């Protein structure tokens, strides 16, 4: 049987023992009341922790705030890097259009050849000077791929990628890129032997690659995975990266600072 006895909780004045306040309840009622008070306090404490800065003083929450600050700082650094890369890209494009691209120092001698030249330069004389001149001339001749020395000579360029042409350059509207729709994992190849002078990531997580050749400068935009770093010597037809199938390759070709229609010099 349940306990139906009532209990009285009274509040008395100390001097006169006069009853000021009282409450009567059973044992079950007292238990229910205390349970309600406990749940109410628990809810209020949870709301206080979740929706007020009080949570920052609790163990664990401070680490979360610190991690958020680190993430935001890294994001700001990433945005600054993207802005810097965009500025560098625009500077290179301006130099290309103006014909101000300087010859790359690795064009004539690779790293091993520079070491050999430094060694023999310590005791330079007429014989070594003649040897160096002949050696450099051979290197310049090697860079002139498929190019003869007659006035009517032409160069044969490799196609940069296997794909479908979706837009052709319009020089009158200052549009210099040949746009090609390319399948996923399709190789992007250098059109001529040359040196990679520029590789930078773009905001869409693809990369722009610029290769300097003997007379030409080729630009490849929206390359998903670049396999060669800046300064690498590449052969004609050698792969420099892969496409992701989501972006079209935008290919530009310049000769002596002037844009060239790729379809006029490339065998597709």
- Mean pLDDT per block of 10 residues along the chain (268 residues) reads 68 83 77 87 85 69 68 80 83 74 49 58 59 58 41 66 91 90 92 93 90 92 93 92 92 91 85
pLDDT of 61 reads 61
pLDDT of 215 reads 85
**Is residue 79 packed enough to be buried (19+ CB in 10 Å), middle (13-18) or exposed (0-12)?**
exposed
Identify the DSSP state of 66.
H
165 neighbors 239 (Cβ within 8 angstroms): no
pLDDT of 59 reads 65
pTM reported for the whole predicted model: 0.45
195 neighbors 216 (Cβ within 8 angstroms): no
Three-state SS for 183-198 is CCCCEEECCCCEEEEE
Identify the DSSP state of 177.
P
203 neighbors 214 (Cβ within 8 angstroms): no
**Residue from 212, 191, 197 nearest 264 by CA:** 191
CATH number of 155-265: 2.70.70.10
DSSP string computed for 32-52: HHHHHHHHHHHHHHHHHHHHS
Cα 53 from chain centroid? Answer: 36
- Percent composition of the chain: helix, strand, coil (DSSP 3-state, to 5): 40, 25, 35
241 neighbors 223 (Cβ within 8 angstroms): yes
User: Which residue has tokens 């935009």?
Assistant: 221
Question: Residue 163 forms beta bridges with which residues?
Answer: 182
The residue extents of the domains of the chain are 6-53, 105-143, 155-265
* Other CB atoms within 10 Å distance of the CB of residue 261: 13
212 neighbors 103 (Cβ within 8 angstroms): yes
As a whole number of angstroms, the distance between CA 171 and CA 133 comes to: 40
pLDDT of 180 reads 94
């Amino acid at each position: 049987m349940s306990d139906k006895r009532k209990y009285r909780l009274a509040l008395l004045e100390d001097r006169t023992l006069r009853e000021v306040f009282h409450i009567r309840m059973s044992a079950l009622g007292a238990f229910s009341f205390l349970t309600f008070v406990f749940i109410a306090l628990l809810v209020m404490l949870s709301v206080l922790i979740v929706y007020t800065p009080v949570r920052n003083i609790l163990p664990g929450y401070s680490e979360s705030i610190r991690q958020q600050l680190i993430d935001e700082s890294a994001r700001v650094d990433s945005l600054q890097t993207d802005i810097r890369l965009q500025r560098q890209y625009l500077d290179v494009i301006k130099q290309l259009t103006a014909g101000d691209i300087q010859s790359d120092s690795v064009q004539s001698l690779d790293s091993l050849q520079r070491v050999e030249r430094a060694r023999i330069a310590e005791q330079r004389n007429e014989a070594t000077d003649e040897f160096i001149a002949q050696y450099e001339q051979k290197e310049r001749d090697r860079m002139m791929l498929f190019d003869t020395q007659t006035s009517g000579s032409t160069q044969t360029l490799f196609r940069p990628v296997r794909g479908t042409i979706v837009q052709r350059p319009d020089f009158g509207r200052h549009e210099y890129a040949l746009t090609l729709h390319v399948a996923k994992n399709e190789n992007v190849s250098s059109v001529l032997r040359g040196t990679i002078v520029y590789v930078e990531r773009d905001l869409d997580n693809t990369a722009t690659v610029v290769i300097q050749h003997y007379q030409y400068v080729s630009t490849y935009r929206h390359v998903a995975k670049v396999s060669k770093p800046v300064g690498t010597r590449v052969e004609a037809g050698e792969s420099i990266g892969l496409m992701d199938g989501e972006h079209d390759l935008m290919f530009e070709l310049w000769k002596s600072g002037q844009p060239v229609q790729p379809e006029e010099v490339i065998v597709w």
